């Protein structure tokens, strides 16, 4: 469960996140959908405990990220939009390093590394340096690290950017399997097809606030046209901002 309560982030006079409240229950894949600059990454950094909110609260599986950060982070996986990976480590070393950060016990680490490498189709690269990896392989490695410690809540910032169709298909299957196991996933995207295909519910974010929320069907119904494409709903709700992203998404 991921709970955001009236989350606000101001930079001087500029409000990047303007009172976001949201609950992602166990087993839900929730799409956080909006144009560039909407406040998605800022929100995720606050939920992950990397950025202090101006006001508001974040609970991860009931633990407050501000007052109980260790408990909150233990059950949280975070995949940032521009992850940092130590290029001089092998895939296996990277996963073991991550397991160490989360205090995983020695005896469970080997089995879990093997399991994660297999799940993300990286088994053959266990002993190769990360610096030789393609973008898609790095992305899968970062995801395998984020799932290593069996988080019950996962944040993923723009996971589909730059993936080939096979990579995208794999990530979709993994996310679905995780939600079937009861994991709550909050995923940002500006790719409408991704949200439409994958998400149980979506929140449409514009200028730091949620302007629409529900299933894709419910969000569509807000425009009064049951069969409208989400693309046109998004255009209507955002008053045409984010056009460039939409062009990219539908191209
Ligand atoms: N450190 C910062 N200082 C000032 N403004 C920031 C800072 N970080 C982000 N912003 C601004 O906050 C807004 C939201 O950014 P961001 O959360 O990255 O949006 P998104 O991920 O939806 O594209 C943008 O206008 C961005 O320029
Ligand atoms: Mg972003």
Render each residue's pLDDT in the chain as its tens digit; 251 residues: 999 999 999 999 999 999 999 999 999 999 999 888 999 999 999 999 999 999 999 999 999 999 999 999 999 999 998 888 889 999 999 999 999 988 888 889 999 999 999 999 999 999 999 999 998 899 999 999 999 999 999 999 998 888 888 888 999 999 999 999 999 999 998 877 788 889 999 999 999 999 999 998 888 777 665 555 566 666 666 665 444 444 555 55
**Closest ligand to the CA of 36:** 1
- Find out whether the beta carbon of 40 lies less than 6 Å from any atom of ligand 1: yes
- Find out whether the beta carbon of 38 lies less than 6 Å from any atom of ligand 1: yes
Q: What residues have their beta carbon closer than 5 A to ion ligand 2?
A: 40-41
Tell me the fold of 1-75+151-166+179-251. Rossmann fold (3.40.50)
Going by C-alpha positions, the residue among 141, 147, 111, 139 that lies closest to residue 126 is 141
Structural domain spans, the chain: 1-75+151-166+179-251, 84-150
Residue 229 · residue 171 · CB < 8 Å: no
- Find out whether the beta carbon of 17 lies less than 6 Å from any atom of ligand 1: no
- d(CA 139, CA 160) in angstroms, rounded, equals 9
Beta pairing class for 2-11 and 55-60: antiparallel
Single pTM value for the model: 0.90
CA of 239 to the centre of ligand 1 (A): 20
Name the strand (E) or helix (H) holding 155: strand 153-157
């Amino acid at each position: 469960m991921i709970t955001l309560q009236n989350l606000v982030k101001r930079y001087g006079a500029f409000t990047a996140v303007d009172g976001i409240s949201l609950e992602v229950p166990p087993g839900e894949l929730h799409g956080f959908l909006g144009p560039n600059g909407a406040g998605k990454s800022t929100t995720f950094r606050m939920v992950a405990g990397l950025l202090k909110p101006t006001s508001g609260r974040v609970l991860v599986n009931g633990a407050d990220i501000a007052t109980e950060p260790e408990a909150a982070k233990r059950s949280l996986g975070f995949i940032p939009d521009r992850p940092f990976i130590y290029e001089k480590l092998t895939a296996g070393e990277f996963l073991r390093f991550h397991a160490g950060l989360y205090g995983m016990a020695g005896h469970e680490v080997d089995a879990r590394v093997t399991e994660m490498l297999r799940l993300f189709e990286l088994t053959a690269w266990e002993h190769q340096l990360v610096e030789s990896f393609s973008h898609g392989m790095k992305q899968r490695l970062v995801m395998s690290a984020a799932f290593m410690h069996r988080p019950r809540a996962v944040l993923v910032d723009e996971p589909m950017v730059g993936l080939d169709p096979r990579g995208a298909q794999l990530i979709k299957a993994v996310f679905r399997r995780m939600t079937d196991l009861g994991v709550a996933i909050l995923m940002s995207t500006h790719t409408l097809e991704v949200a439409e295909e994958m998400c149980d519910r979506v929140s449409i974010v514009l200028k730091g606030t949620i302007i629409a929320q529900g299933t894709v069907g419910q969000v569509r119904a807000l425009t009064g046209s049951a069969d409208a494409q989400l693309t046109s709903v998004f255009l209507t709700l955002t008053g045409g901002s984010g056009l460039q992203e939409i062009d990219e998404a539908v191209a």
